[in-house]
Amino acid sequence: MGISSDFGGNCFLVYEYAEKGSLDKCLFTRHLSSSLGSSINVNLSWSQRLNLALDIANGLQYMHEHSQPSIAHRDLRTSNILLDSNFKGKIGNFSSARPAISSIMLKVDVFAFGVILLELLSGKKAMETRDGGEICMAWKEIRKIIEVEDKREENVRLWMDPNLGSFYPIDAALNMAALARACTSEKSADRPGITEIVFNFSVLSQTSSEMYERSSTSSCLETEDTHIISPVIGR
């Protein structure tokens, strides 16, 4: 909203008030403080998660493609995504942002975006220490889930955030998981650009409600093969 500086060299960016706090608090603590000081439970719906992913992708596209020079955020994570009163996501904390001097810097942001997608889908932190001290990394876990084609739908359902219940279209969840898998590819050259990501999410947001209507009419899992939209669609 504005910028302020003083004679001591201190510089401040002024943001709109993020009434709902940061995305990590919403995803991992399940409650927010109301204006009356009480705690209220928060469970993001499928449409809210999908819209948040599109909000973040649109923000990154502005930085990567519409800024001159291109800007790499370099610290994209759920704690740096701020939510307004309508749960619209805004990218915050630009302390590590720098002009992008190489395409690799932009692809690092894409990887971080993929990690956020995994957390939005699973409701879990991307890196967790399990019993026995084993460190689980979500971007490696999703590769195993996606690669097993005959059990892909079943495995994704088991992996999804249980707080969503069955209130999401499985086709859209599979597409979003496939896109997260592409964004977190080990080789930066294999990761999609932000334009392709925004395009895919625009398609998903338009078709997700229709997919959910179809899936909600079925009382059991369909046995037919699920078609996954390519995570990179040329424009």
Can you give the pTM of this predicted structure?
0.83
Can you give the residue ranges of every domain in the chain? 45-79+92-216
Choice among 6, 55, 75, 225 that is catalytic: 75
Q: How many CB atoms lie within 10 A of CB 90?
A: 16
- Comparing CA positions, the residue from 235, 152, 146 lying closest to residue 198 is 235
- Comparing CA positions, the residue from 118, 124, 126 lying closest to residue 173 is 118
- pLDDT at position 184 is 97
CATH class of 45-79+92-216: mainly alpha
d(CA 73, CA 98): 7
Q: Residue 84 catalytic?
A: no
Q: What is the pLDDT along the chain (235 residues), one digit of tens a residue?
A: 898 999 998 988 888 899 999 999 999 975 555 554 544 457 899 999 999 999 999 999 999 999 999 999 999 999 999 999 999 999 999 999 999 999 999 999 999 999 999 999 999 999 887 777 778 899 999 999 988 888 999 999 999 999 999 999 999 999 999 999 999 999 999 999 999 999 999 999 888 756 555 555 553 444 444 444 444 443 3
- pLDDT at position 51 is 95
User: Vertex 63, ends 70 and 228: CA angle to 5°?
Assistant: 110
Query: What long-range pairs does 155-159 form, CB within 8 A, spacing at least 24?
Result: 157/221, 159/121, 159/122
> Is 70 exposed, middle or buried, given 0-12, 13-18 or 19+ CB atoms closer than 10 A?
middle
Alpha carbon 168 to its chain's center? 16
Question: 31-33 and 81-83 as β-strands: parallel, antiparallel, unpaired?
Answer: unpaired
